[in-house]
Amino acid sequence: MKPQSLHKLTAALLCLLLSAVPALGGCSKPGAGQGEPITLLNVSYDPTRELYTDVNAAFAKQWEAKHGTKLVIKQSHGGSGKQARAVIDGLDADVVTLALAYDVDMIHDKGQLVPEGWQSRLPNNSSPYTSTIVFVVRKGNAKGIRDWEDLLRPDVAVITPNPKTSGGARWNYLAAWGYALRKNNGDEAKAQEFVSNLFKNVPVLDSGARGATTTFAERGIGDVLIAWENEALLLTDEVGKDKFEIIVPSVSILAEPPVALVDRNVDRKGTRAAAEAYLQFLYSEEGQELAAKHHFRPRSQAAAAKYASHFPTVSLFTIDEVFGGWKQAQKKHFDDGGAFDRLYVPKAQ
């Protein structure tokens, strides 16, 4: 082996070893000079794959036209919590676009990668698009399911994933809880009883949202699936309108998936300008329209008006109004020993 190639090999091995230590960040080049292509990494959650494929293509085109430099945007998808942990552990994300603000909060708490007030840096709680929680029933709606109350009937089997392992399931749970609170004038005990009865009708507790959808759609288990509206629309669009129907309950939660700049990473890589513009693009009319096309409710009036028939009106409450934000909701409901454990885990035999 020539000495030169030996040096290269040693360097490569060192890089490999160093990249195992997240704090050192491996051997990525600091800063991208003028004219060199810029690479952004968007770490997102599962059901946004198609949305960001379109957004990335549109934004890269716009950026290149404006700045004359090439922009490459990479995507990474997975469960929201898992993705947040990967970023905390050193995955080089420039931006995160996750399912719950709690996951970004943890990127601040555990990794110090985003500043404290990250959620107020962008409009609308840093959520450029929203969604809500709806029901999917089998065509014909044989059990006559119309609203949350119907999910408590003894003849109805409900499919929803485990809130302890699935971010989406936490939205489902909080939507039911919020409905029960509104119905019972804020009575917490009654809300707990309501959600407890609902979970008595859950025959299978999948660990993630896609698993629950499979259980319901492919295995034919359960009468109703509680799901994000964008997932429900995707299911009826792709699997077949002749098989499933979407039922919109009278009251539901405003699901606000947040986006955030990962400051520590963009400053180290010198990609702040591009990453900031990328997130701003999501709020532009073009970005809003792409979101609506991919079944997320847009924030902009224009896009909302254009896609009005797509998204039925429903009375929505926010997590801040009813639960005082994600951190409080997580602690009270989903942490070990919290409300979910008390209402759901059967007593030890």
Partner 1 sequence: MQHSARRRVLPGFGLTMGLSWLYLGLIVLLPLSGLFLKTFTLSWAQFWDTVASPRVLAAYRLSFGAALLAALVNVVFGLLVAWVLVRYRFPGKALVDALVDLPFALPTAVAGLTLTTLYSHNGWYGQYLEALGVKVAFTPLGIVVALTFIGLPFVVRTVQPVLEDIDADVEEAAATLGASPWRTFTHVLLPGVLPALLSGFTLAFARAIGEYGSVVFISGNMPMRTEIAPLLIITRLEQYDYAGATAIAGVMLAVSFALLLAANLIQRWTNRRLEARTG
The residues that touch partner 1, with contacts defined as CB under 8 A, are 81-82, 85, 106, 109-110, 162, 164-167, 203-207, 211, 214, 218-221, 330, 334-336, 344-346, 348-349
Shortest separation between residue 153's beta carbon and partner 1, angstroms: 21
C-alpha to C-alpha distance for 244 and 317, rounded to whole angstroms:
26
Minimum CB distance to partner 1 smaller for 157 or for 316: 157
3-state secondary structure of 247: strand
- The nearer residue to partner 1, 172 or 288, going by C-beta atoms, is 172
Query: Which lies closer to partner 1 via its Cβ, residue 167 or residue 178?
Result: 167
Find the shortest distance in angstroms from Cβ 110 to partner 1.
Answer: 6
Cα–Cα distance for residue pair 90/259, rounded to 1 Å: 18
Tell which phi-psi region holds residue 123, choosing left (phi > 0), alpha (psi between -120 and 50) or beta.
Answer: beta
Q: What does the angle CA 252 – CA 49 – CA 63 come to, to the nearest 5 degrees?
A: 110
Burial (Cβ within 10 Å: 0-12, 13-18, ≥19) of residue 196: middle
CB of 251 to partner 1, least distance (A): 27
The region, left, alpha or beta by phi > 0 then psi within -120 to 50, assigned to residue 170 is: alpha
40 or 100: CB nearest partner 1: 100
- Nearest approach, Cβ of 248 to partner 1 (angstroms)? 28
As measured in angstroms, the least distance from the Cβ of 133 to partner 1 is 19
- In the complex with partner 1, which residue's Cβ is closer, 164 or 183? 164
Of 61 and 110, the one with the shorter C-beta distance to partner 1 is 110
Minimum Å distance from CB 220 to partner 1? 5
The DSSP string of 130-194 is EEEEEEEEETT-TT---SGGGGGSTT--EE---TTT-HHHHHHHHHHHHHHHHHTTT-HHHHHHH
From residue 129, give the alpha-carbon distance in Å to each of 4, 64, 102. Answer: 53, 25, 17
**Residue 86 or 247 with smaller CB distance to partner 1:** 86
Distances (CA, A) of 2 to 10, 14, 15, 210, 233: 12, 18, 20, 52, 60
For the bound state, the minimum distance from the C-beta of residue 280 to partner 1, rounded and expressed in Å, comes to 29
φ, ψ for residue 241, nearest 5 deg: -70, -20
